[in-house]
Amino acid sequence: MQLYSARPDRRAWQIVGDVVAIGVLVGAIWLAGEVTRAIDSLARFGVQMQDTGSELSGTLLGAAEGLEDIPFVGTGLGTPFVEASGAADGLADAGRTLEAAIHALAAGVGAAVWIVPVLVLVGVWLVPRIRFARSSAETARVAATPAGRDLLALRALVARPLPELQAVAPDPLRAIRDGDDAVLDALAALELSAAGVRRRAPLAS
């Protein structure tokens, strides 16, 4: 499969396009990583909430146990502290929820940062490159067939702009009907050039 055109000008643009596309892809992946890490770093607030809630809950439960151990009067004194420890546990749960949400947000935004450029590259760069490779391969296969020259000449007559055709012959259709070998060769070469295929040997006729 031919990846680059035989025409120097078109090949140069294809190489530039490939380099730019690879650069955009690498840049998008790097930026996605940076964005993910930046958002992910906010999860520390959720971790701090978890630590604070857990520590506060433990302190309150300890205080409740201490009050309950006081002889005669301790019974029931620790209840408010136990209830407060439940609220502290709620704070820890909220911290875990926040941490999970931030991690999910970081993953989603990071993925979008590289997926969007990749989708654009597929449409703007990859599809045309695949189309060119397939077209050039098909043209090369046609050129290798026994009637390749005549088929390419006819295709050039249909596909190439009129000024290009008239540069080959004033009346290319008549020349084809008359079997003018020079015109047929020139038209076939014109189609090969348009498809970016290098002419390596005389075409079969």
DSSP notation for 146-163:
TTHHHHHHHHHHHHS-HH
Q: Output the pLDDT for position 77.
A: 63
Global pTM value: 0.68
Q: Output the pLDDT for position 80.
A: 73
Which two structure tokens, joined as six digits, stand for 182?
């020079």
How many degrees, rounded to 5, is the angle at CA 42 between CA 41 and CA 44?
A: 80
Residue type, 203: L
Per-position pLDDT tens, the chain of length 205 = 678 888 888 889 999 999 999 999 999 999 999 999 999 998 888 889 888 888 888 887 777 677 666 665 556 666 776 777 778 788 888 888 999 999 999 999 999 999 999 999 999 999 999 999 888 888 888 888 888 888 999 888 888 888 888 888 888 888 888 888 898 989 998 889 888 887 755 454 4
Q: Output the pLDDT for position 86.
A: 79
DSSP character at residue 123: I
Unique residue bearing structure tokens 């006819």:
154
3-state helix, strand, coil in the chain (%, to 5): 80, 0, 20
HSE-CB for 87 with a 13 A CA cutoff: 7
Q: How many CB atoms lie within 10 A of CB 161?
A: 9
61-104 pLDDT, tens digit each: 777 677 666 665 556 666 776 777 778 788 888 888 999 999 99
Q: Output the pLDDT for position 6.
A: 82
